[in-house]
Amino acid sequence: MKIASFNINGVNGRLPVLLRWLAEAEPDAVCLQELKSPDEKFPIDAIREAGYGAIWHGQKSWNGVAILARGTDPLETRRGLPGDDDDHQSRYLEAAVKGVLIGCLYLPNGNPAPGPKFDYKLRWLGRFANHAADLMATGAPVVLAGDYNVIPTELDVYKPEHWVDDALFRPEVREAFHRLLDAGWTDAIRSLHPEASIYTFWDYLRNAWGRDAGLRLDHLLLSPTLAPRLLAAGVHRDVRGWEKASDHAPVWIEITDAEAGTKRRAARSSKRRPKE
């Protein structure tokens, strides 16, 4: 099963990019961010024709998240991040797809920092950590996928010294991300590629793509019950070079299906299995 996350940067303006990528990559489940579309303008007909069911939480002009599922409809479990009834930005959507609970998030950018936008980002991170802990406590296989707007380490940015005061890289933000890892979440890409320089975003400005001046901002975090099923992870870099591309590239994982995962875990615990 392939699960991907893609900050599409305008789902209507970039619909040809989305449809081409769905046809080429054939992900089983997709988290989209930055729809920049009100609910009534979400291109559900074209997405259904491409073979996907979908749920979405849009908003005029900005934000907006969606979950797509190939050949089926996502089973919605939550709309909006709990913890603040006054927060009306469309940044969190959650659904079950083929036995996996998928949280789709678009974390606030937070610039300029310091300031009210940065404060909102830190509050959002706190609410997110609380909800993530609740999800983990259920024991369900969970992936939290999306645009975190967090550069986790110096390895995840082309020139760390240019970003020290930026809301994507400030210590408070990095520490919040690492507290998630300490709590038991697995950064899928980093767990399989511990040393590699991997980016998911390249600015439109200053020929960032041509210079490979990128950032790793889009992440898939796996619960302890899902992490053992991780087979592969990567970034569809070439999509960033397409005509009318988003400034983000899709990030993806492949996991064993639920039945195979159960067999694997059973095999691992078996006394007959030789030590790895």
Partner DNA sequence: ATGGCGGAGTGACTCCGA
Annotated binding residues for Mg(2+), written as ranges, equal 7, 34, 147, 149, 247-248
Q: Please say whether the beta carbons of 78 and 90 come within 8 A.
A: no
Q: Closer to DNA at the Cβ: 147 or 187?
A: 147
Min separation Cβ 251 and DNA, Å: 14
What's the rounded Cα separation, in Å, for the pair 189 and 148? 14
Binding mask 181-210 for DNA (x = CB under 7 A): --------------------x-xxxxx---
CA 255 to chain CA centroid, nearest Å = 15
Q: Could you give the angle at which helices 116-138 and 171-182 cross, rounded to 10 degrees?
A: 0
For DNA, the closer CB: 8 or 227: 8
Dihedral sign from CA coordinates of 201, 205, 210, 213: negative
- 3 state DSSP class of 7: strand
Could you say which of 43, 74, 103, 108 contacts DNA (CB under 7 A)? 108
Kindly state whether residue 153 participates in binding DNA, applying the rule CB under 7 A.
no
CB of 47 to DNA, least distance (A): 15
Provide the pairing of β-strand 29-33 with 75-79.
Answer: unpaired
Alpha helices, DSSP H, located in 165-257? 171-182, 188-192, 208-211
12 binds DNA (CB under 7 A): yes
CB of 63 to DNA, least distance (A): 8
Positions in the binding site for DNA (CB under 7 A): 7, 9-14, 34, 36-38, 60-62, 108-109, 111-112, 117, 147, 149, 162, 168, 201, 203-207, 211, 213, 215, 217, 244, 247
Which residues are catalytic, by number? 106, 147, 248
